[in-house]
């Protein structure tokens, strides 16, 4: 938990309690349904919660915005982002229902009201659009963009230039990825903005980890 306070100092008391509760809740749920590898559960706040909040460090999700987490798994990055942005609506989608059971249980336990889950393939979501699609290490960028593009609202407002810096951004796909992305980006046909997470967080875990933003 201390690692979150190293980088964020404006949590409300309610948010602090919600973040503090995650460790015991995930440990308990992980004994029943394995959503986090056993070698990582002891580093929950660094490798999962802080990693997810890399998006919050750069993107300002406004009240009333709708965000979909594609392939949410055990709730990352969507659940920490829902705590961080309590007035933004989050839909966490995954094709494995038992993982969403964990998300539902944790959200209920901490009183998180702005989150819903859906047991579905992302391709099966029709007639609904979102301000942003977020995702973490789910699929190659080409596939992520193919799935995401129909779900992203049209850009009808003026935004700051589409650089990855704190501010308002055009609707798009935001994903957390690792490793050498050159070939993956080339094959995707997109022109994303890429930020090394080492520019945000100094821990060795974040070396070769990136935030990738594709505006629509």
Report, as an integer, the average pLDDT of 122-151.
Answer: 91
- Contact (CB, 8 A) for 196 and 209: yes
| Range of the structural domain that residue 146 is part of | 2-215
- Is 123 annotated as ligand-binding? yes
| Token pair listed for 30 | 């992980």
Q: Is the pLDDT of residue 18 over 80?
A: yes
- Contact (CB, 8 A) for 163 and 204: no
One DSSP character per residue, 64-97 reads T-EEEEET-TTTTTHHHHHHH-TTSEEEEEES-H
- Is 73 annotated as ligand-binding? no
- Of all helices (H) and strands (E), which one includes residue 133? strand 132-136
Higher pLDDT, 115 or 137: 115
Q: Is the pLDDT of residue 163 over 80?
A: no
Q: Is the pLDDT of residue 52 over 90?
A: yes
- Is 136 annotated as ligand-binding? yes
Cα 207 from Cα 107, distance rounded (Å)? 30
Residue 108 bridge partners (DSSP) = none
- Is 84 annotated as ligand-binding? no
| Token pair listed for 3 | 């690692």
Q: Is the pLDDT of residue 91 over 90?
A: yes
What pLDDT does 157 receive? 63
Q: Is the pLDDT of residue 160 over 70?
A: no
Count: domains in the chain: 1
- Is 108 annotated as ligand-binding? no
User: What CATH number has the domain bearing residue 107?
Assistant: 3.40.50.150
Task: Say what percent of the chain tops pLDDT 90.
Answer: 79
What pLDDT does 124 receive? 87
- Contact (CB, 8 A) for 80 and 49: yes
């Amino acid at each position: 938990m201390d690692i979150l306070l190293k980088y964020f100092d404006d949590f409300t008391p309610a948010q602090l309690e919600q973040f503090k509760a995650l460790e015991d809740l995930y440990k308990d749920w992980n004994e029943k349904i394995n959503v986090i590898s056993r070698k990582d559960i002891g580093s929950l706040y660094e490798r999962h919660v802080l990693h997810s909040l890399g998006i919050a460090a750069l993107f300002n999700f406004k009240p009333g915005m709708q965000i979909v987490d594609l392939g949410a798994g055990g709730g990352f990055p969507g659940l920490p982002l829902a705590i961080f942005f309590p007035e933004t609506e989050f839909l966490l989608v995954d094709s494995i229902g038992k993982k969403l059971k964990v998300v539902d249980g944790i959200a209920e336990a901490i009183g998180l009201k702005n989150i819903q889950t859906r047991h579905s393939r992302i391709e099966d979501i029709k007639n609904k659009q979102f301000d942003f699609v977020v995702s973490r290490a789910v699929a190659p960028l080409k596939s992520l963009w193919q799935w995401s593009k129909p779900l992203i609202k049209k850009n009808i407002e003026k935004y700051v230039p589409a650089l990855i810096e704190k501010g308002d951004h055009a609707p798009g796909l935001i994903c957390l990825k690792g490793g050498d992305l050159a070939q993956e980006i080339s094959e995707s046909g997109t022109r994303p903005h890429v930020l090394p997470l080492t520019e945000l967080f100094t821990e060795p875990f974040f070396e070769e980890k990136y935030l990738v933003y594709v505006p629509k």
